[in-house]
Structure 1
């Protein structure tokens, strides 16, 4: 009932505040008056309870303090009493009685807790009565406030009681500590008594023994009399000590009894005071209860007055609650629809494609383009000699086209757009220079293959396109084809009930690259890119008959795979490259050519096609009929066609093969390399004799059936000469080659050996060394033989030039600074003509001894000198000076050369680097020695150290060179005119000219 009233009242108040119901205004005055009366009652009750609790708290505090002091005094008295008992050697029972008496007079913690529990029960009763009032109709707010205030007051009372509890606990703790100390003291007294008893027991036994003796119970008296006297004296002394100790104990016990009695009195006083305070609390509780009952009756009356109004309001609140439930239901539905709409809008914002921009892979004259490659053709006729239609004439026009897939790239915005949220297509435009026409509904130029794919690395979306209908849509004149990508949005990319949203990219030029009859051929895969047109198979049967054998690896006993050897070639006039037939939807079909290929041998005509059959036309496999050896040596022609998806023949080719047998590996035999020293004369001869051939050929040769070895007669009946080749350092050389020579008669007329004999002059230039390799090959002349097809005999010869040693001793008179000094010719007389003053010096005279010894014979060679470099004024000439020459064994110098004159008169002069070489007859040269030649200047101009020539003011002074020592030749001898010339005796003096001298004075 309470919960219902309060909930309805709260709902009513809330609804009234929100929707401003006009009917609530009628109750505003009644509610205000009720709030005022409840407030006055609360104030009055609060004041009364607070004053009574404050007075009770003060009385309790005063009473507790007094009782604590009284208890402390009583405990002190009890301590005195206990001490007195211990001093008087009280028994344990007496001490226990005193302790019990003390404990009976102390208020323990349990008693205090019982008292507190009584108070708690009373308070709980008060709270129960308040709750009863609440259930009878008081408002929740008023009762809650009243309950809070009463609880606060009781909390304060509880705090006071807790403080009293703490004080009593402290008092009990002190009492316990005292009792613990008392117990310890008592144990000490007991321990002292036990010790004393232990000391007295032997003594008492001794006294008892003495008494027995005194009574005549012992016959031994005399020996004990003295000892007994001494002991009696000690006993007397001990008795006095015992008497004193007992007195002290009795005094101490008396003090303890006094203290215990005092504590007992104090405890009794505390009990009396606590009983009084409890009575006062009971009285206060009665007064408080009476006040609460009075307040309850007053509140009950006021609540009764408003009960009818509250009932009426309850009815209205119930109606409002029903309306609110409907409103909340509608709000929930609206919220759900709104959330769906918000989610839809959010998804639309993030998922809707807003723009498509081009990411071109090609440009044509600056225009974005998509490059398409198409093959145009006309199906070939079935005739095996039909030509490939070339697009000219009525019967040659191209009728079909196939486009290869190409990639068009775009950038989608936003990048989060899901590609599956749109349907894609292309629309066409034909654009002229000045006009356009509208786009058609769907592209007639291109189709999309597969689904678009994201290329994350480039941030693009790639579409695979294929060109269609080229022949009917190719551009003409100045009109070009354009296409544009369109994306029709769907699913997450459109709003509810939204249709027809299209995002289009900018248009792109359709650029067509066309392959026709000229560009495409079926060809040999292995040589397609290297042999050009020579790799193309014949396109007609007749051409194949006249043409070469393409493959000789087909054997009569195995299925032959032609597909692995076939490829399609695209040729743009320059490069030959593989053509991917899968991109164009093409495939190969293989056949045995149906035309007859007859070969006439004597009077026998054999159709080569009759020995072969097709195994699988799609896989390109063939075999000899019945794997019959009769097919060996036949050369059938296979037909391969390149066909489209409809079976139309796009290209046709014919391949001639030769059927053979599987042979064992070819044999190559030879000895280790020979070393040959080139010495100009004579022959060199090498032999692979009968013994070598027997060990390395006849005894090891085997066939595919596992048969090993044959006789020399069998071998030479089966094999015949094929070719002999000589190479020098890997290049073919024209010189005498090995030959087959009949063996010795003693070993059989059919024996053979291989001989290679050649003149050394055929070798040519050797240089730092050269290698000759000569091979002689014999071939298996039996077509059906399963032995090796070829056996090759090989010779390897390493040729080197002879080494030499040079012993030389320089002619010291001609050497200076490690250079051979060359001078001009000495005049025969003072009147010798100038033309005879030439440089022509013997080079052999530079050495006193000069001996060259070769390892081999050097009779065919010759010696010579060469000028390899010249040096002018310390620098190398490039090119070398032409005026420096060699004439046999002489070095010469052309003085008429201005360059030679300048070099001779330079500071560092003129030098030449000369080589002494040995030349073989095969253009080989060996440098024997290299040395420097220095050309000595022929004339030197020597000015005296103390002579000067001073120009005059007119035409200058004249110097007479006809002075001994002014001009000298290369020997240092003076050059003078022949005869004597008379001169006027002349002399000269020095003219002194005074010069003004200035002295600096700092």
Structure 2
């Protein structure tokens, strides 16, 4: 099949270059408007045409391009037509000689050059969108082409359909097919030794019979089949299915169907399976599928384990242009199966097949033939007393069976597990279902016949009371029983029997949801209480349900928890309890909602202050009624505070007033032990922060009624910090006052900093982990900091949130070390070349004060104050550029062991001398990098000294 585009071309991946313009013409613009207008009228005509064709199938289709008329003749020789379009221009696009050319009727109307820089035309970049706008590489050219068009669909030169594009949207219209039957393709039901096959079934069973019965409480019983009973059989017509092509073919086009059969690879005298002409009145075509019903001698079908296979094919004679022709199908195998062990099953059950049977068969499939099981069980389905359409019980029934192969050996083998037949398939197998009311009574005294409250019309049951013409409300609660018999169509023999118990209900009564909006309230230290007032209950619940107070509480009960309070959702807040008057028969029963301060605070923290509670009234004994819910809602006004304007001493704050700096005590002031502790109160005016409320709050949250404290903010949790030992540490907020850290992936936490909430002091901790983190960066880089938060707490230990209480506390590294420049070693000197350590490096503290005596301060005492234990070279990691090696990475010891750089007196002031010796040959000048490690009270700091080794003296 192909598409030929006529009158207006449908555009696909086409467009123009980004740097060119598209020259339009007046005729072209007029064409677009006319095309859109004419095609816009097509839909109505097509709808009318489809309606006139109906489902009769298509005999022929013709289209006159000159007049634009489409004519269709259906299988009943009824002719229908509509005018599609005429005299519409045909547009084409060509790419020729580096240009994109638009032609109308073969004549050029406009063109555009491809971009000069383009290596070649790329059709994938040329597009037309649904609005008809032409683009190249995503850039619109300003050109618009027709968005409405007609595509004619042809097959072997015959028009079989059309695709109409209207304003960029396609509407396909497939006019069935103009051709008669062209092929028959067998639809297999199974495969027999790899061959497509259908089955011929033989049904076997032992019949059921009803025992003598009088009205009783346990219902009727039936004589169940016994093994010794004579078996009955059904040999139904066989049914084969064939796909027809084209799908529009109808039975009226077929004048004759013939089935022929053959036995392949068989030697013997047995008569072959034969069929012959097929009764066309039993056959049908629906949705392109031919159903062929036929009768044959099934005993002549070869057994599955025989040395031959029975095959058949179908020949159809069809009328064509006053004559006829024969269409022949492929060959398909046919095999015989035996169907038995029939039971009626619950089509709605999700249980395993053996447990899905209707009452009357236990899960071992031993048919016990009595209604008592159904009577004792829960109803299988329900129907409302006022449902005049009733309930169709056939939707609850399907037939199960077991299938066995027809073999030469015994016993025969079962084919698969238990199988099923839908109700629509039963007739194919000579079976039908018959529905009857089955009487039984309830009540020892009154002996009420439950089935007298229903009426059956075929398989449809409705509630009914004899002599009552209005809706039988008195039938509510009754449970009639229906017997379902699986019968042989030919004589009504009962193949199997089961029962369905139906409950007659009031019908679905909608539930009711009412919300009591309790408004806003301020957080306080007291419980918040709301209640449903008596008039609210009467107006919003009783009245809307059309019930009195007595009726409502007779039908519904509050769904309660173990404490007798309403059972709430997991996300609800507070407690809802019933408010019952001493005389419950006279006064309205209401509900009370109680919210603790902690319920309200939790809602502020997790639900933006929204609090809810939903109490549910459930029907006591009427599943047809929906629940009645009363939902309380309220909003907690969240109080908040902030620092008073001017409370912070600006000069003590850094980074836009967002952080403070913590340092060791200044030498010679408060203490003289290099204590690393700071009173955070001191960064506020008056050495104490002051606060203000930002909104309305209850008396419990007034500033005068709250106290403040410092805590480590939760934002510190899992923050990573690099140690100067190369280890990555992860922070952990162990408590409000304790910040810890551990190597990443470890739980071996060590203290890093502590807060004394009584004094407002924050203190750094003295251990290896804390020191490694502290000494990674100096104050001129990014010192380690912790996030501290200010918490305001009232008398009931509830927090008043701070909008700006969080700040950074940066811990300044107490000591820094820097290399001096201009120092060098000379090779070949007596006793080696030496340099004093304090000539190679110098120290400063967190104020950038050098460790030396000046006119302003005596820094020479700092070595002792900061506990400088040693200033030592890292001998093993000295690197050099000997032999053109990398000065940063090439270790001196790897190049030669004859050049030695060593140190004496590293552990006491002035921390000794570094000496260079060369115990071997002359050497030319080179450089070394010497790592230096300073160990002091709060850890270690490192630097590296770059020194030149001058060549051997005199050489």
- TM-score for the superposition, normalised by structure 1: 0.45
Q: Which of structures 1 and 2 has the larger relative contact order (alpha carbons within 8 angstroms, sep 6+)?
A: 1
Structure having the higher strand fraction is 2
Normalized per residue, the structure richer in helix is 1
TM-score of the superposed pair, with normalisation by structure 2: 0.47
